[in-house]
Amino acid sequence: MIITRTPYRLSFFGGGTDYNPWFEENRGTVLAVGLAHYCYLTVRHLPPFFSEHSSRIVYSKIESVKNHTEIKHPSVRGCLQYLKVYDGIEIHHDGDLPARSGIGSSSSFTVGLLHALHALRQRMVSSKQLAEEAIHVEQKLLGESVGVQDQIMAAHGGFRLLELGTGSKWSVKSLLLPKDYLHDLERHVLLGFSGISRTAQHHAKNKMDNIKQGKTNEELQTISGLAQEALKAFQGEFGFEKIGMLLDQSWQQKRRLAVGVSTDWMDDLYSTAIRHGAFGGKLMGAGGGGFFFFLAPPNQHEKIRKALSKIKVWVPFKIDHAGSKVIFFNDS
């Protein structure tokens, strides 16, 4: 039996520049962190006496199948196909946060499952290999309209600079910031769930179509430039008011990447938070709902929460520094 623990992610800057149609022509820059909230995958060989099915997959649904081609969960089907797993297997998924909420949960699932399947075969894999394999499964095998930051961050965790370039090449660099500064950053982030779960595919596809048609070149150039400016601000250990201002500018650009990225309800939520002391913030993921975060002085957090009384779920923000890990291994 294998259990993997894989972080979700929070993207501070550069989201949208990690779509292949953009960065393969123009390069991309993303600043993101792994969240210390996790996707857990438990995987084991299914004992042969389960004659009524050869494999069992447990997530929000339960699938019992005789053939892996019958599996409805796309990531499970894609990972088993990619690694040529044909024998009976049992997979259980648990998550700290809801799916379809802008935190990269689908890619955390894919990375965590690939990690577990490799471990089940007693193979060690690097974070880079896990990310590359997850990108291949999601983009090539499943044909999903996704970028590359979610898979990279799920595999690596930490506070990272992603540099994306031609030929689908990418690199990951750690932002080596003092522990006190990172702790102060964690204290300034206010992370909440809108209560709206949505499938990102529609919004992501619209964004990619707009990129291919050149409709959002100006916005993405600005988003990329703001990511570079934010990198300098973080490395210079600037005050969070400056970084919050850059976040606000980046969010105003992201809203224009496709219809439906934001809504009147989300716009009202955002402006209310700003009026009550937030420096800046953004809706996470492709848009349309899910999680959002604000950068705000800790002494203003309670005031902001009260102003956003319709938001019932607030989640502690803490950075994961480990990436995807095998936390239990028993090959007996």
Q: Has residue 265 got a pLDDT over 60?
A: yes
Structure token pair of residue 238? 């600037």
Q: Considering only the top CATH level, what class is 2-175+322-329?
A: alpha beta
Q: Has residue 202 got a pLDDT over 60?
A: no
Average pLDDT over residues 300-329: 95
For residue 48, count CB atoms less than 10 angstroms from its CB and return exposed for 0-12, middle for 13-18, buried for 19 or more: exposed
Q: What is the chain's mean pLDDT, rounded?
A: 91
What pLDDT shows up at residue 199? 59
What tens digit of pLDDT does each residue of 180-198 get? 999 999 999 999 998 776 5
Structure token pair of residue 115? 């990690």
CB 111 within 8 A of CB 154: yes
If pLDDT is split at 50, 70 and 90, which confidence band does 11 have? very high
Domain boundaries, the chain: 2-175+322-329, 179-319
Structure token pair of residue 114? 């690939």
What pLDDT shows up at residue 80? 97
If pLDDT is split at 50, 70 and 90, which confidence band does 266 have? confident
Beta bridge partners of 47: none
Q: Which of 287, 304, 300 is nearest to 192 (CA)?
A: 304
Residue 277 gets the label, from left (phi > 0), alpha (psi -120 to 50) or beta, of left
CB 11 within 8 A of CB 151: no
What tens digit of pLDDT does each residue of 77-130 get? 999 999 999 989 999 999 999 888 889 999 999 999 999 999 999 999 999 999
Q: Has residue 131 got a pLDDT over 90?
A: yes
Please tell me what DSSP assigns to residue 255. T
pLDDT > 70 in the chain, percent: 94
CB 325 within 8 A of CB 283: no
Average pLDDT over residues 306-311: 92
Q: Has residue 75 got a pLDDT over 70?
A: yes
What tens digit of pLDDT does each residue of 247-263 get? 999 999 988 886 667 78
CA distance 163 to 286: 20
Which range among 21-25, 131-135, 199-203 shows the weakest confidence by mean pLDDT? 199-203
If pLDDT is split at 50, 70 and 90, which confidence band does 51 have? low
By three-state DSSP, how is residue 213 classified? coil
Q: Which of 86, 74, 92, 197 is nearest to 138 (CA)?
A: 74
What pTM was computed for the model?
A: 0.94
CB 254 within 8 A of CB 266: no
CA distance 34 to 84: 29
Q: Which CATH architecture has domain 179-319?
A: 2-Layer Sandwich (3.30)
Residue predicted with more confidence, 142 or 166: 142
